[in-house]
Amino acid sequence: MKRILLFTLFLNLFFFSESVFSGWNQKPNVNIYGFVDIYYVYDFNKPATDYRQPFFYNHNRHNEFNLNLGLISLQLEHPKYRANLSIQTGTYANDNYAAESGVLKNIYEAVVGISLDNENNLWLDAGIMCSHIGFESAVSINNLTLTRSLIAENSPYYLTGAKLTFQPNDKCEIAAIVCNGWQRIQRVQGNSLLSFGTQVKYNPTEQFSLNWSTFIGTDDPDSTRRMRFFNNFYGIFNFSEDISLITGFDVGIQQRTKSSSQYNVWLGPILIAQYSLNQNWKTAFRAEYYKDKTGIIIPTGTENGFETTSFSVNCDYFPVPNLALRIEGRWLISRDKIFETENEFSDQNFFIATSISININE
C-alpha cells in the first residue's frame, strides 16, 4: 500500500513539474531600452546655491542645464522568467540615492523574476526593483506632469527585496513584498527587522483603475525602533481619449518613540487632470497638499512643520510619441517660511521647469 501511495505521489509530482515547467526551452527576447531627460529650472526665489529644495529629488537644480536621469536597461523577457538590469546617472540618482554607497546609487533596477505556475499568474521577483507605491516614476515622460508630486517625491521610488505577485484574472492583481526598508538598497545599520508591503490593483475596465499599496516597517536601528505604517491610495480615470484624471491620497503614521502607543501622522491628497489638445499637444493641472507637522518625512524645524499646498500647470509637445518637450509652472505655499531665498526664507516658492526627454528603444 505504501509503495502504491509513493508511486502515485511521484506521478503527481512528475506531471505537475512537467506542467509548470513546460515552455522553459523557449528562447527569451532581449531588449535594450534607454531614457534621457535634460532639464532647466529657474527658481524665482533665487536660492543661494544651485541645489533648490531638500524635499525634491527630480529636476532640483536652479538656473542651470543638467541631466535629471540618464537610463539604460537590458531587459530579458520569457514566458517563464524575466530580468531587468538598469543603470542610471543624473541629479535624480545623486539626490535620491544619496544614502547608498559606491556604485549602488547607479543601479536603477536589478531584478530577476520567475513564474511559479503553469498559467503564469503567479510570479516571484527579487532584487532592486521599482516601488509598488504611487502612480509616478522617475521616468518623467510617462507621467502627466513634468515634475513629481510631493507625495511621490517623499515616498519610496525603489525597494530591495522580494515580491510575490498573483493575478487571478485580467482585472485584479495582488502582491506581497518583503524588503530591506523604506527606500533602501542596504538596510539601515543596526536594524535587524525586515519591512513588508502589499498592493492591490483593480482594473474593471481599460478606462478605470484603482490601487491600494501599503508599507509596514521601520527606518530606524533596533535601539530606537519606531514602527511605520503607510497607505497609498489612487484612482486613474480615462474619461475619453482626451481627458484623464488621477486622484490619490497618502497617509502614514509612525511611533513617536520606541514601543510607544502614540503616533505622529503625515498625509497628502492630490488631483491631476490632463487634457490632450491633439495627438501632439497636452496640458495638465495639478493641485496637492502635504502635511508633516512633526517632520517624519520632511523635517523643517519650524512651528508647524511642513504644511504646503502646491499648484502647477504644464504644457507638453510630443512631435513623436517617444519624444517630449515640456514646460511647467509650479507654485508652492507653506504655512511656515521654509523656502530658501537669496537672503532669508519665504513661505512661497514659484519656479518654471523645462525639459526635453526621449525614450530610446532597440
Q: What Rg do the C-alpha atoms of the chain give, in angstroms? A: 23
Say if residue 71's pLDDT is above 60.
yes
Residue in 62, 80, 69, 75 with CA at minimum distance from that of residue 20: 80
Q: Domain for residue 266, yes or no?
A: yes
Q: pLDDT digits over 273-332, tens only? A: 999 999 999 999 999 999 999 999 999 999 999 999 999 999 999 999 999 999 999 999
Q: Does residue 310 belong to any structural domain of this protein? A: yes
In this predicted structure, the answer to whether residue 358 has a pLDDT above a threshold of 80 is: yes
pLDDT value at residue 256: 97
Average pLDDT over residues 156-177: 97
Distance of alpha carbon 71 from alpha carbon 140, whole angstroms = 12
What 3-state DSSP class applies to 189? coil
Taking a C-beta distance cutoff of 8 angstroms, is the pair 124, 185 a contact? no
Give the pLDDT confidence score for residue 58 in this predicted structure.
Answer: 97
Residue 18 maps to a domain: no
- The Cα–Cα gap between 301 and 110 comes to 37
Say how many C-beta atoms besides its own lie within 10 A of residue 171's C-beta: 12
Name the residue with higher pLDDT: 117 or 9. Answer: 117
Residue-range definition of the domain harbouring residue 237: 24-361
Distance separating alpha carbons of residues 238 and 249, to the nearest angstrom: 18
- pLDDT at residue 4 tops 80: no
The answer on pLDDT for 195 being more than 90 is yes
Sign, CA torsion 143/146/151/153? positive
| Site of grid cell 509530482 | 13
Alpha helices in the chain (DSSP H): 2-20, 91-96, 150-153
Query: Which CATH number is 99's domain given?
Result: 2.40.160.10
Q: Residue 154: inside a domain, yes or no? A: yes
Cell triple for 170: 485580467
Does residue 53 carry a pLDDT above 80? yes
Q: Which of 240, 229, 233, 221 is nearest to 197 (CA)?
A: 229
What is the residue whose three cell numbers read 519591512?
195
Q: What is the pLDDT of residues 208-249, one digit of tens each?
A: 999 999 999 999 999 999 999 999 999 999 999 999 999 999
Q: Return the pLDDT at 102.
A: 85
How far apart CA 137 and CA 68 sit, in angstroms, is 13
pLDDT of residue 1: 52
On average, the pLDDT of the chain sits at: 93
Q: In one letter, which amino acid is 213?
A: S
Q: How confident is the model over 5-48, as pLDDT tens digits?
A: 445 445 454 444 555 455 788 889 999 999 999 999 999 999 98
Q: Which amino acid is at 98?
A: A
Which residue in this structure is represented by grid cell 512661497?
348
Q: How many domains is the chain built from? A: 1
Greater pLDDT, 7 or 351: 351
Q: Would 286 be classed as within a structural domain?
A: yes
Residue 170 has pLDDT above 50, yes or no: yes
| Overall average pLDDT of the 356-361 stretch | 95
Quick check: is 6 in a domain?
A: no
Is 37 part of a structural domain of the chain?
yes
In a domain, 288, yes or no: yes
Q: Does residue 92 register a pLDDT over 50?
A: yes
Q: Which of 22-26, 159-163, 251-255 has the lowest mean pLDDT?
A: 22-26
Q: What is the rounded CA–CA span in Å between residue 351 and residue 50?
A: 13
Contact 312, 331 (CB under 8 A): yes
